[in-house]
Amino acid sequence: MSIQPEISPQPVEERPEPAEGPIVLVGAPGSGKSTVGALLAERLDVAFHDVDAVIVERSGKSIADIFVEDGEPAFRALEARTTAELLRRPGVLSLGGGAVLSPTTRAALRDHRVIWLKVGLAQSVKRVGLDTARPLLLGNVRSQLRKLLDERAALYREVGTEVIDTDDTTPADIVEMIMNAHVSQR
């Protein structure tokens, strides 16, 4: 498992200092964004925000209810607005798996250190399980995840300044990898 900054379309060194905004975690459902984000923030002693959690807290509705009652386009608009707002706060920020679908969000991410937590289909299915809280995965979880991973890989690659393969790596080890890269950039 390694951090492979060479896939970045824009070298990390050319980006602004991470202190200007949060370190951002992106990746598909089951990639560990929320778990790793919380651990990383604790380790760095900074604030942690998770876009989905903020949306749920503010709306008083689950993500699944927002999808059903308001529709996916309404969720995506809310997600893009919430992401834009939270990108202005320092700390660590975990995005929803589909946040990269928004061209506006992808453009906003160009100014940030963005870590793509990459997950393969088998691990993603295993970690997500039959979790019905994820409305996009209702029905055949495996085939939905396969489609989603195929469709989004290029978008995660586009926004990521680093990629970490999470399949055989624990959240604690991922935090160490991020910390080491963080130190070596300074």
Chain residues that interact with ligand S3P, rule: CB under 6 A: 29, 33, 52, 63, 96-98, 134-136
Q: Which of 109, 81, 79 is nearest to 97 (CA)?
A: 79
Residue 89 CB, shortest distance to ligand S3P, in Å, is 19
- Output 120 or 135, the one with its CB closest to ligand S3P: 135
19 is written with which tokens? 């202190």
Residue 34 CB, shortest distance to ligand S3P, in Å, is 6
Contact present, 83 and 105 (Cβ < 8 Å): yes
Q: How far, in Å, are 33, 84, 139 from residue 118 at the CA level?
A: 10, 23, 23
- Output 96 or 160, the one with its CB closest to ligand S3P: 96
Residue 109 CB, shortest distance to ligand S3P, in Å, is 15
Residue 99 CB, shortest distance to ligand S3P, in Å, is 7
Strand order in the sheet with 23-26: 48-50, 92-94, 23-26, 114-118, 162-165
Closest residue (Cβ) to ligand S3P?
98
End-to-end Cα separation, the chain, in angstroms: 22
Residue 16 CB, shortest distance to ligand S3P, in Å, is 26
- Output 18 or 96, the one with its CB closest to ligand S3P: 96
Separation between Cα atoms, residue 158 and residue 105, nearest integer Å:
12
